[in-house]
Amino acid sequence: MSVRKNTGTLLGAALLASALALAPEVMAAAPDGGGSAEASGATMMPDSGRLGAVRRYEAEGTSRDVLLLVSDEDGWDSRAEDVAAEAAASGRTVLGIDLKAFQAGMDRTDDTCSFPVNDLEAVSQQVQKDLPYTQYRPPAVAGIGAGAALAYAAITEALPGTFAAGIGLDFCPVYLAPRPFCPDAPTTTTDEGGGRYRFHAAEQSQVPWMATPKAGCPAESTDSVMDRTPSAVRLDARPARWGEAVMESLDRLAEDDQATGVGDIPLVEIPAESPKGGGGDTLAIFWSGDGGWRDIDRQIGQELARSGMPVVGVDSLRYFWREQRPEAIAHDLDRMISHYTAKWGKSKVLLIGYSFGADMLPFAINRMPERSRAQIGLVSLLGFARKADFEVGIAGWLGVDSSDSEDTLAEIAKLPAIPLQCVYGSEEEDTGCTAPELDRASKLRMNGGHHFDGDYKEVASAILGAAEAVR
């Protein structure tokens, strides 16, 4: 069986699987660097791999979102405790990460480089399965001192959509680490010797970054990073106001989020770069794989937009964090078509789904109102399988069908006469594209497996060609 996953998800799934096997427990003693969890009101989660034991602070009232807070290099202290307590009091679920323990955990591995993103994302996913969220909410990551440098590395190394924002308290772009950061990540560093690494600005990052500078850190070093990171904002706050500054920053982000999208659907808009290009009277609605809007989905969407076709992407990781039934998906799809055909002045819709997002599309289309279904000019199924799930889970990340999976081919057989395209990898053993139910579809067999050997330009070109052929 070929593994069906988005890049970067599998390691997080493995970490999450091991963590979910244990229930959170209160421990009398905390790891090095802090006082007892009981004294602070935090719950100590079971050992979370390289992160060690993570402190969990419950939100007062209903949890609004999740904040990952990384301590300074000496471990969890009163400064971290104060920020965590204030964040929890404002309605955030806070996960406190002891940087000293995290570095010790990384030092125990055989890894030649450091990529902290997977560890941070995995613990957020673990906790959010216990929270009353209908969608997954990318966490913000904040840090103090060396933890601020790690937070900067995390948001700039991660794929888009992994973190909502980064906040640095006492930020200096220098980090002492047991391993260098992985060289293929967007964050670039200079090795100054002795385990000391200096960050350069991540000039392509679009994740909001807010920071207070560290006293004693060379101003030119901090200024260079802050001035050249596109989304950076300087915070002017004394240590006594750090908690307040963090809360004000997160509140502003929440206000911005509420002003975008269609209702509560997690969307990404990619306007056409060339309005007179190949899009014509068509816009694309693209449902991502279960890893979220981040890799193959994002790159194909950008290619379509460059050609002149505007794209609205649906983040399936967030949308399907809890089970969504086909009738609800059909209703949301109808809303999206109505909203974006009016907003962008288009009359036709190209529906695209990748992997998880492709598998569920036939179920939604069959339950849509006729008026919006009539606007669909083409359905393009990428990495389509024979079974569909309606909730993101560990089984899907590991390439295993869940016990609740439903038959996609039976649903394909019920589809009205809408043109279909099916794209699959030559190494995919469980593809649905070769099934008799899809004999009427135009098909493209790509080299490689579920990610088509990374040839996303070719996939985008094939989608545009199929859309042109049925106009």
Contact yes or no for 184/202 (Cβ under 8 A) = no
Q: Quick one: 243 and 278 in the same domain?
A: no
Residue 23 has pLDDT above 50, yes or no: no
pLDDT digits (tens, 9 = 90+) for 166-220: 999 999 988 877 777 776 655 667 777 777 777 777 777 778 899 998 888 887 7
* pLDDT of 36 higher than 60: no
Per-residue model confidence as pLDDT tens digits over 42-65: 899 877 788 988 999 999 999 999
CB atoms within 10 A of CB 191: 11
198 and 343 together in one domain = no
At residue 241, the pLDDT reads 83
Average pLDDT over residues 82-92: 93
Are 379 and 420 in contact by the 8 Å Cβ rule? The answer is yes
My answer on whether 206 and 277 are in the same domain is no
Has residue 253 got a pLDDT over 80? no
Least confident range of 191-205, 265-279, 322-336: 191-205
b (16+ CB within 10 A) / e for 374-413: ebbbbbbbbbbbbbbbbebbbbbbebebeeebbebbebbe
Q: Are residues 320 and 443 in the same domain?
A: yes
Lowest mean pLDDT among 175-179, 260-264, 361-365: 260-264
C-alpha to C-alpha distance for 107 and 264, rounded to whole angstroms: 41
* Terminal CA-CA length for the chain: 36
**Per-residue model confidence (pLDDT) at position 186:** 57
Residue 309 lies in a domain: yes
Q: Whole domain around residue 437: which residue ranges?
A: 267-469
Q: What pLDDT does 40 receive?
A: 61
Q: What is the pLDDT of residues 423-455, one digit of tens each?
A: 999 999 889 999 999 999 999 999 999 999 999
In a domain, 145, yes or no: yes
- Whether the per-residue pLDDT at 252 is higher than 80: the answer is no
Domain match, 365 and 216 both: no
Residues 179 and 315 in one domain: no
Asked if pLDDT for residue 17 goes beyond 70, the answer is no
Q: Which of 26-40, 150-164, 345-359, 456-470 has the lowest mean pLDDT?
A: 26-40
Q: Are residues 132 and 221 in the same domain?
A: yes
Confirm whether 271 is domain-assigned.
yes
pTM for this predicted structure: 0.71
The answer to whether residue 327 sits within a structural domain is: yes
Structure tokens at 383: 């990495």
Q: Are residues 112 and 24 in the same domain?
A: yes
Q: What mean pLDDT comes out for the span 138-155?
A: 93
Report the percent of the chain where pLDDT is more than 90.
55
- CA–CA dist 305, 328 (Å, integer): 28
Claim to verify: residue 362 and residue 247 sit in the same structural domain? no
Q: Return the pLDDT at 368.
A: 95
Same domain, 247 and 277: no
Domain count, the chain: 2
Does residue 2 sit within a domain?
no
Q: Is residue 4 part of a domain?
A: no
Residue carrying the six token digits 């240590």: 239
pLDDT reported for residue 57: 96
Mean of the pLDDT values across residues 307-317? 95
Q: Do 234 and 377 belong to one domain?
A: no
In a domain? residue 1: no
Structure tokens at 378: 């083409």
Rounded mean pLDDT of the chain? 85
315-321 average pLDDT score: 94
In a domain, 65, yes or no: yes
The CATH number of residue 453's host domain is 3.40.50.1820
Q: Summarize the confidence of residues 377-396 as an average pLDDT.
A: 89
